[in-house]
Amino acid sequence: MQKEGRDRHRREHPATLSVQDIPSGASIGSLRDLFRAHGFYLVQIRMATDEKGQNKGHALVVLPVREAEKAVAELDGCELGGRPLRVALRNAGGR
């Protein structure tokens, strides 16, 4: 049954969120864990990094469109590594 849920999410239209103010020590895994802890299924995370592989403080997160507004409402201002994140729909004024 869990596999069916994953397949359903893959067929839905995606939405892209802009996540900013990510702490320098955070990884894709820690960002993924935060979204999953709130019950969100992620399609993809693209974190901006410098030439040394360190994150630059922002990422794009792709998830099913029906979860996008709920994710913004729940995670905008949520702390990661002691720092509040800014989460917004990318096509609504995000980067």
Q: What CATH number does the domain containing 48 carry?
A: 3.30.70.330
SS3 61: strand
Domain of 13, in residue numbers: 2-92
pLDDT at site 94: 40
Answer for the pair 58, 24: CB distance below 8 angstroms, yes or no: no
Mean pLDDT by 10 residues, the chain (95 residues): 50 87 94 95 94 94 93 97 96 47
The whole-angstrom separation of Cα 69 and Cα 26 is 23
The whole-angstrom separation of Cα 83 and Cα 79 is 5
pLDDT at site 61: 96
Which runs of consecutive H residues, i.e. helices, occur in 44-92? 65-75
